[in-house]
Chain A
Amino acid sequence: MDFDVIVVGAGIAGCVTAYRLAKAGHSVVVVERGAEVGAKNLSGGVLYCRVMDKVFPGFADQAPVERRITRNYLGFLNPDSLVGIDYHDDRLGKPVNAVSVLRAKLDPWLAEQAEAAGAVVMPGFKVDSLLSEGGKFTGIKAGDDELTAHVVVLADGINSFLARDAGLRTKEPLKHLAVGVKSVIGLPRQTIEDRFGLAGDQGAAYAIVGDCTAGAGGGGFLYTNQESISIGVVVRLDDLVGKGLSSSELHDRFVLHPQIQPLLAGGELLEYGCHLVAEGGKAMVHDLARPGLVVVGDAAGLTLNTGLTVRGMDLAAASGIAAADAIDDALQDGNFGQAAMDGYVARLDQSFAGKDMATYAKAPAFLENPRLFNDYGPLLANVLRGFYNLDGAPREHIIPVFRAALKESGLGITRLARDGLAGVKAL
């Protein structure tokens, strides 16, 4: 045996798993395809970080995080209007609940922690296949070299060809996948704080639906960093294909939207990239364990898109904790069979990650509802216009204003009620 554990992929899931196992005294190697850790990894950028405190106490104070999110903005964007709910609450920063991060900074830091704990981090090698013997996974193959271990952890991200080859999952249907296109726009710290009404290391997170995706399933996001803004769109692949839209054009449409552009004015493009996002929710989580093998993070399909938040990094960390703890047990017992590896799945189900996946199981179906992306934005704007557009005509009562706007939207009251109920159930 070359190592106790081999981790494939030095993203959040892989680094957290490796760190915990190394800290528990096991020999661990992390094999990462990228020439440098984190260089190509991409997230929108809000990490719900309470889970990180379990691994690194005082995470937000020691890790390279950008801002502490104290302002959440939910917006319906129409071609010429924006209706939003602005939730600004200093309590969200005490204790810190969510932070904005840039993966190019966070991932190398995580890898350094794993290395300091004794793990070997090996960037620049792509794992090509898994080794197995008598029904148990025994190692990996990269180029001509083979490496063996008691347990292999697949933390190789959403495309995880290795999990597919191991027979743990099949090709995902398009509707389980979305594509994200993101830019990082540099702006002076003071400009960001003035524009978004922030002080010190406070941060804002915008989630926006509607015109930013031209009505396709998905949404736009905008997160403040210390001296930059992460902005982009996440759009469901089946809708992109079906509507003949291009994700990069939708990104440009959002960034240049008259309601959004002033927030970015004078900024400089620092980074631009795209990446797949898992959207299938619970339905996408598959078999996660085999003798000698567990799957964590995006490779396990652990992403939640509730419409208000895209979450994957916190779930990646939670699955890393569950996997490390189960593998620690297995190494102590010297047993790596199916039952031992299923210990990971049980721990994951018990964690907030497993519970949240179950809670939001209906979210993907709710988010497939096209009315959410097409109709509700204009409806809200028209109701509000009815109030604020004092055109000299006498004001009407709220009910008729609403009814007129509803009629114009073609939605109907029963449909509205049904969508509302579905939303409450899903979220």
Chain B
Amino acid sequence: MKVVALYKWARDPEAATVRAGGVVDWGNAKMVAGDDDHAVIEVAKTLAEGGELVGLTLGDGDAAWAVARGVDVAYSVADAPYLADEATTAAIMAAAVKHIGGVDVVVIGDAEQQHPAVPGLLAGLLGWPALSAVGSASADGAKVTVERKVVGNIQTVSAGTPVVLGVAAAGEEAKPPGMMQMLQARKKPVTTLSLADLGVAADQGVTSAGTALPELEGAKMLEGSPAEVAAALVAALRSDGVL
């Protein structure tokens, strides 16, 4: 199978600061690996066995990250900006997948908090079926069988290709690549695509009117002996409805 693994297509929300007035300041933040991305590569690698594993990243995402984890061919849409608009992000990805051509499966992180709609939109734009919350997958001829977590249960589903799989990682990456693997990965060429090559525009369909931080109450300092502080803490937690 020819499998595309999408990785490093968003920035780390922890790198952002919300400035007064609601402007989000990204500083020098780059496209980073999402929490699910290592699992994306794992799933894609299993499916691509005997076939071809293609890595695809956006913006300044570092391709060596995926190459060191086993990607055979690396593509990057280098001039894709980081967008709040999930539909445009998905459209850029869909155009790149079509450009790569002959793809059976696209695997992408389920990044729930940040961009929950992107995997579904991507499938929609490609006109392919989509399965989300995938934990693991295996290939069986032209079919893929996935295990996914649905309301606490493990469900096994088979689907024909082409298909988009949204992967949710079960935990941290067990063994990140070492320095040598990373050094070798750096030497592999990356094919750079531009938005113009793909014939897509990065116009946002949405305008951000600003982001507000949640209202924070000032911190309270409890003073006194340890026993008094503990009692005051319990009382405060009770009155705030925490206990």
Contact = CB atoms under 8 A, between A and B. Distances in A.
Contacts of A29: 183
A143 interface: yes
A411 to B, nearest CB: 39
Contact of B180 (A124, A147, A186, A270): A147
Given A144-B178, A186-B19, A268-B20, A122 B183 contact: yes
Given A268-B19, A268-B20, A31 B28 contact: no
B17 interface: yes
A221 B88 CA distance: 46
Contacts of B69: none
B182 A125 contact: yes
Contacts of B25: 270
Tell which of B17, B19, B20, B183 has the most Cβ of chain A within 10 Å. B183
A145 B178 CA distance: 7
A355 B182 CA distance: 41
A31 B179 contact: yes
A108 interface: yes
A145 B180 contact: yes
Nearest to B25: A270
A147 B186 CA distance: 15
B27 A104 contact: yes
Nearest to A147: B179
A143 B178 CA distance: 7
A140 to B, nearest CB: 9
Given A143-B178, A268-B20, A120 B28 contact: no
A147 B180 CA distance: 8
A257 interface: no
B30 interface: yes
Interface string B1-30: 000000000000000010110000101101
Contacts of A108: 28
Interface in B176-209: 178-180, 182-183, 186
A122 B27 CA distance: 21
A257 to B, nearest CB: 22
A23 interface: no
Given A36-B30, A143-B178, A144-B178, A120 B19 contact: no
10 contacts: A104-B28, A105-B28, A120-B186, A125-B182, A142-B179, A143-B178, A144-B178, A145-B180, A147-B179, A147-B180
Given A124-B182, A145-B180, 16 more contacts: A29-B183, A31-B179, A36-B30, A104-B27, A104-B28, A108-B28, A120-B186, A122-B179, A142-B179, A143-B179, A144-B178, A145-B178, A147-B179, A147-B183, A268-B19, A268-B20
